Amino acid sequence: MTLPVGHFAGKIVDSGGDETYYEKPYVFLIIEVNGCDGEHMVKLWLSTEENYARTDATLRELGWKGVDASDVSEIHGKACSVTTREETFQGTTEVKIAFVNAPTPARRLTKEQFAAKYSARLIEMSRALRNKAPVAAAPRGGKAPTPPAANAFDPGTDDVPF
């Protein structure tokens, strides 16, 4: 049941509610992540107003229309987009689901769409790169003199730059 780091499509297959040892409630979603073995759980916290607001927004983005977050079964079978990252806890690093969102539409530009959208910008960048002046070499026979700093300290005055 290894989970790679990245961004994946998935499907919500189950959900439920639970609490931690310290009585902090959360809703959990069980997600099948495309291209990964097994099912993976993500916890959506409900323990503070900020957590609840974020959880409510996530569930609504996924298609939940309810009022009681203890039952979010109406989103079972819904597609989702999953972002994973490494997390280290007590010296153990694991890959976990970091974000669950509504599915990201798969979209690929056609050759014509890509050319229409980016051609002028790419030509401009290419010309600028080719026309860029080469870096000047140091003069023969030694190093180029170093120009004085704009706020250089002159020990002959009482002015101290800040």
Q: What is the pTM of this model?
A: 0.60
Whether 35 maps to a domain, the answer reads: yes
Whether 125 maps to a domain, the answer reads: no
Collect all residues with Cβ–Cβ distance below 8 Å to 27 and sequence separation of at least 6: 15, 16, 17, 43, 44, 46, 55, 59, 69, 70, 72
How many domains does the structure of the chain reveal? 1
The domain of 78 spans 6-101
Whether 155 maps to a domain, the answer reads: no
Tens of pLDDT, residues 104-161: 776 777 888 888 888 888 888 888 888 875 555 555 655 555 555 555 555 555 555 5
CATH number at residue 37: 2.40.50
Q: How many CB atoms lie within 10 A of CB 114?
A: 12
Q: Please name which of 96, 102, 103, 104 lies closest in space to residue 42, comparing C-alpha atoms.
A: 96
* 12: confidence class by pLDDT, cuts 50, 70, 90: very high
Q: Please name which of 41, 6, 9, 13 lies closest in space to residue 27, comparing C-alpha atoms.
A: 41
